[in-house]
Structure 1
Amino acid sequence: MEEFLRKPEIRRITRDVPPAHYIFSIESFSLLVDTGVEKYESHAFDVQNYKCGNKKSNGEGFISLYLQIEDTQYFPRTWEVNVNFRFFILDQIRDKYLTIEESDGVIKRYYQMKTEWGIAQLLSLDHFNETSNGYLVDDCCSFGVEVFVIKQTGKLERLSMMKQPPNNTITFQLQNYSVPFYERYTSDVQTIGDSKWELIVYPRGIGTAKNIALSVFLGLVEAQKLPPKGKVYAKYKFRVRDSFNSINTREFTDSAWFTASAIGFGSRHFISLRDLHDRSKGYIVNDTLIVEADIIIVSNVKLFL
Structure 2
Amino acid sequence: MDEEAYGITTEIREVPPAQYVFKIESFSLLSKNNIDVYETNEFEAGDQKWRLILYPKGDKSRNGGDHLSIYLAISKSTPLKVGSEINATVRFFVLDRIRDQYLTKQGRATRFHVMQSQWGIPRFMPLATFTDPSNGYLIDDTCVFGVEIVVIKNSGLGECFTPIEGRCGYIRGVIRQRGTKAFQYIFVWPIQGNSILGRKLTQASPFG
Please give the TM-score of this superposition, normalised by the length of structure 1. 0.49
Q: How does 1:85-164 map to 2 (within 5 A)?
A: 85-102=90-107, 106-156=108-158, 164=168
Determine the C-alpha separation between the residues in 1 that align with 2:83 and 2:191. Answer: 50
Determine the C-alpha separation between the residues in 1 that align with 2:191 and 2:153. Answer: 41
Determine the C-alpha separation between the residues in 2 that align with 1:84 and 1:100. Answer: 11
Residue 193 of structure 1 corresponds to 197
Query: Once the two structures are superposed, what CA deviation does each residue of 1:140-181 show, in whole Å capped at 9, x if it has no partner?
Result: 1000111111221214467899994436149xxxxxxxxxxx
Determine the C-alpha separation between the residues in 1 that align with 2:78 and 2:14. Answer: 37
Give the secondary structure class of the aligned counterpart of 1:144: strand
Please give the TM-score of this superposition, normalised by the length of structure 2. 0.71
Give the secondary structure class of the aligned counterpart of 1:67: strand
Between structure 1 and structure 2, the one with the greater Rg is 1
Determine the C-alpha separation between the residues in 1 that align with 2:196 and 2:79. Answer: 51
Shift of 1:93: 0.5
Residue 45 of structure 1 corresponds to 43
Identity %: 38
Determine the C-alpha separation between the residues in 2 that align with 1:17 and 1:91. Answer: 12
Give the secondary structure class of the aligned counterpart of 2:106: strand
Query: Once the two structures are superposed, what CA deviation does each residue of 1:257-288 show, in whole Å capped at 9, x if it has no partner?
Result: xxxxxxxxxxxxxxxxxxxxxxxxxxxxxxxx
Aligned mate of 2:29, from 4, 28, 31: 31
Determine the C-alpha separation between the residues in 1 that align with 2:78 and 2:143. Answer: 33
Aligned pairs, how many? 167
Asked if 1 retains the 8 angstrom alpha-carbon contact of 2:80 and 2:114, the reply is no
Shift of 1:27: 0.9
Higher relative contact order (CA 8 A, sep 6+): 2
4+ runs deviating over 6 angstroms: 157-163
Residue 68 of structure 1 corresponds to 73
Q: Structure 1's 133 and 153: CA in aligned 2 closer, same or farther, altered over 3 A?
A: same
Q: Structure 1's 75 and 159: CA in aligned 2 closer, same or farther, altered over 3 A?
A: same
Structure 2: runs of 5 or more not aligned: 59-64, 170-189, 200-208
Give the secondary structure class of the aligned counterpart of 1:20: coil
1:168 is aligned to 2:189 = no
